[in-house]
Structure formats: C-alpha cells, structure tokens
Structure 1
Amino acid sequence: MKLDGKVALVTGSSQGIGQAIAIRMAQEGADVVINYRSNPKGAEETLEKVKTAGGGRCHMVEGHCDSVEGLTVQADLGTIADVQRMVADSIAHFGKLDILVNNAGIEKNADFWDVTEADYDAVLNVNLKGVFFATQALVKHLREANRPGKIINISSVHEELPFPHFAAYCASKGGLKMLTRNLAIELAPLGITINNVAPGAIETPINTKLLNDPQKLGALLQNIPLGRLGKPGDVASMVAFLASEEADYVTGTTFFVDGGLLWNYQEQ
C-alpha cells in the first residue's frame, strides 16, 4: 500500500469528491481525518467506509471512533480558528500529520454586478484563505518535527477556464493556482511538495440538477472529448498518486482531471 503509516487530513470529506479521496487514502494504508462543516451524518458515513477500506480496526473513545483508520473533526474552513483547531486536533489524535488534502470548497452563482460582499467573503474564505491557513498549520507541524509532507489542493478547471456568473469562485481558484506555485518554491527545501488537482465535470451531489437535465447534460458532454462525466474516484486516484512516494519529485503543478474538457470547451 502506497500510504502505509501515513496520516492524511481531507477537508470537506463528508460527501462527493472529498469522501472518495478519504476512502482511497484508507485503501492505500493511511489513517484518515475526515473533516465536515454541517453534515455529521455524511462524515460518519465516510468514517464507516474508511474503516471498511482500511480493515475495520476501531474502538470508541469519548463518543468518537478512535481508530487507526479514521477520525471525524467538525470545522468551518472559512474560520481560521476552526482551521487551526482542526489541524491541532488531528495531530493530537494521531501524533502526527503527513498529508493535507485541501478539498473543501463552495461556489455562489450570481451575475457579477449582483455579487454581495457576504457571498464574496464566503467563497474566498473557504476556497483560498482556509487553504492558506490549513497549509500553514501543517507546515509549522512538519518544520517542528523535521519531517517531509504532501499537500494536495483540489482546485478546478476554472483556475484556467472562465466561468461566467461565478466570478468569486474563479478568483479563488486562480489564487489557489498561484499560491501553489509560490509555495512549491518556498517549501521545497523542507521536503514538502504541493500540487493542485483540477477536476472538470464530476458526478457528485452538487451536480444532481445537471444530471437530471438531459439537454444541459448533452451539451456539456459535447465539450468533453472522452464523452462522459468524471467519477469522484477519478480525482481520488490522482490524489493518491500525488500523496505517495511515487510523486516525490512533483511539485508546483496542476493536474487536470477533466476528460479533455479544458482544451475543448466552448460556451454554448
């Protein structure tokens, strides 16, 4: 197993892509911290799947599944105190943290001229500021322990591809691209790598409306050369590679998991 003995924190892992990543981390042998903001039921579902994927070793401590496989931690990634507590609790529980997957993200659909300050702040706080300070907390831990580490950010094709009516979201992902490039240089002497995985159109609960609209789905599929939507597991596979020793010489790069969408997209 590629990640035997490692501890991975996956933010926003109560459903969708984050859940698939958490499960894949466990399949590869890692202990997994499952973060959620407002979906404890989904987090517990992820925890059960992580336990199954990792061999099912578990005992209860203070109402939590104290397992060499998984732990759930509630935290709002848009609140820095929560972010810092999440990382600290993860380290306190497992004794260390090796891998951070910054997956949590939100989007707000609005014409640019109608975007409110509250909506702008909500998107940037979770998608960029939260990533910044979660990464900072991990780096401080790794520096103190004098150990290498892996950071994988779940970005989007929209770090490159315009997405009308989602200006704040695109700005957050563009910022994430530059943050990753900058930190790749700054963190390399510490033995810490950082990369982005940029999904295209993925079958997740957030896309339920699209999946149930044959006309919109058909138009989207025409833009995807591979002719299908991605699966959460497609993203998780790339994350597992980047978290492993096989990617030790890879840093500062974005990997697009989009079936060719980015270079073929045409606005309808």
Structure 2
Amino acid sequence: MAGLSGRSALITGAAKGIGFACAQALGGAGVCVLLADVDAPALAAAERQLRDAGVQAATAVCDVGDKAQVEAAVAAAVKAFGSLDLAVCNAGIVRGADFLEMSEEDFDCVIRVNLKGVFLTGQAAARQMVAQGRGGAIVTMSSVNGIKAIPTIAGYNASKGGVDNLTRCMALSLAPHNIRVNAVGPGSILTDVLAAVVSDKAAMGRVLSRTPMLRVAEPIEVGNVVKFLLSDDASYITGQVLYVDGGRMALNYTVPVPEQE
C-alpha cells in the first residue's frame, strides 16, 4: 500500500493476537515495527518470528496504563528507527462478571488498559509526530462491543465506547498537524481470548448465529485493515470507526447455522 515502506510504527499489545497480526501486516509492507507488550517472553518470541521473516523489528516491555512506560516505548521506537510515523493503540484486556457482581478493581483495570492506555499511547505518539513536523497516522482498536452490549463485560463495553469517541476527539485535534486517527472495530476474531470463550460447538454456534458470513476471522484480516488505514491509500479518512465483523453490525436477527461435525 502507498507510503508505508520505510516508515516506523509503534504497536501496543503486539506480542500476539491482533497486535502481532498488525506487526506482520505492516512489516510485510516494509514498515519498521516496535512491538510493545507487558508479556516479555511472548514479546521476544514475536520479535524473533518477525526478524526471521525479514521484518525490521524491536521491542519494549510496556504497561500502557503507565505514562512513563508509554513514553519510553515511543522513545525506544525513535532510537531504533530514527522517527515514529505510525501508531497502533491495540493493547486491551477483558474481565467478565455479572454487572451486579463486577468488582471496582476489575472495572478500573479494564478502563486503565483499554481506554487510558489508548489516551496515553495516542498522546505520546502524536507529540512525537508533531515534533517531527511531517504528519502521521494512528489507529486505535475499538470493537463491535463499543456499540453492542454484553451484560457480563460492562467494563469492556464502556472502554470501547470510550475509545470510539476518544478517536474522534484525537482526529479533530490532530488534523491541523496532518495526523489522521481512525479506529478499527473487530467482531469475532480467532484469538486466544475467543478460543477460551468458544470452547465447544454450541458456543461456536452462538457466535456464528450473529455473524452473517458464518465464520470467525483470522487476526491478519484485522491487521490488513489497520495497514490500509495507516497507508496513504486512506489519506482522506480520519475520525472513523471501521468494523471488521463479518456483517455483525448490520444484523438485526440471527442467522441459521449449519450443523457442525
């Protein structure tokens, strides 16, 4: 895609899942990637895999809810690659419980990572881009659950709804600096989180019944959309949420699911 080769990117939550898929997609397009994550062993393994594939990659252990660690990750990207042109605010967690039983600690933890982490990462990355004076692009990771509601993950739903509007605020604030900001809202993606929830055929059937395309997506299918939004091919797109959901957001009913063997 246009304008990606030779640029540098910071990706949070990049050790596995969607974040790692974003690194694969961007790295394959010639972007130098700084992977940030709290999981140091997984981070090292992800870096090795990318380097084996010919991607220029570096890492930083980073808790996105900690401003100093986020700023250190941005500095690490600049030190490794000379600049920071792109950012993917992907790090996220989920804590589940009935609304009446959800603890304040779990709610706060989810908001800290999923919403405050996007704020801190987006702000630190944007400040670096403004200082460089040549613009840039940022993608935040939302979810269909920013609009749809699941009562057992109220903190997650609230955080992703916040990400949607934070993305719009960032886009408006940063437009004068030629920095575009958009969000991607995944539906059901084949990650470790989904695998833990969809543990049998009945559970998968419930997921597919709300997905018109009757399948879950691979993480790289989200990574490729992120790559598009960060590229110059999306040069007039900012302040948007693009859903990668197999048609789920358009659905007002359930679809029949074929019997699975």
TM norm structure 2: 0.93
What is the match of residue 66 of structure 1? none
| Alignment check: 8 A CA contact 1:155 1:196 kept | yes
* 2:50 counterpart of 1:50: yes
Helix, strand or coil at the partner of 1:71:
strand
Q: Which blocks of at least 5 consecutive residues in structure 2 are unaligned?
A: 255-261
- Shift in Å at residue 211 of structure 1? 3.7
Q: Secondary structure at the match of 2:100?
A: helix
Of 111, 119, 132, the match for 1:132: 119
1:171 pairs with 2:158:
yes
Residue ranges of structure 1 left out of the alignment (5+ in a row): 57-68
Q: Which amino acid aligns with 1:34?
A: L
User: Partner of 2:229 in structure 1?
Assistant: 242
| Correspondence list, 1:57-96, <5 A | 69-96=56-83
Aligned to 1:119: 106
Structure 2: distance between partners of 1:27 and 1:82: 27
**Alpha-carbon spacing, 1:265–1:236, altered in 2? closer, same or farther (3 Å):** farther
Alpha-carbon distance in structure 1 between the residues aligned to 2:181 and 2:224? 16
Aligned length: 254
- Partner of 1:255, secondary structure, is strand
Q: Which runs of 4+ in 1 moved over 2 A?
A: 209-212
1:202 aligns with 2:203: no
Give, in whole Å, the separation in 2 of the partners of 1:42 and 1:147. 33
Q: Does 2:27 align with 1:26?
A: yes
Checking the alignment, whether the CA contact within 8 Å between 2:64 and 2:120 is kept in structure 1 is no
Do 1:23 and 1:46's aligned partners in 2 also have CA atoms closer than 8 Å? no
Alignment counterpart, residue 101 of structure 1, candidates 80, 84, 88: 88
**Alignment CA distance shift 1:83-1:72 (3 Å):** same
Amino acid at match of 1:164: P
1:36 maps to which residue? Answer: 37
Q: TM-score, normalised by structure 1?
A: 0.90
Q: What is the SS of the residue equivalent to 2:92?
A: coil
**Percent identity (aligned):** 38
2:174 and 2:115 map into 1 onto residues whose CA distance is 18
Q: Which AA in structure 2 matches 1:21?
A: C
Q: 1:207 to 1:181 in 2, by over 3 A?
A: same
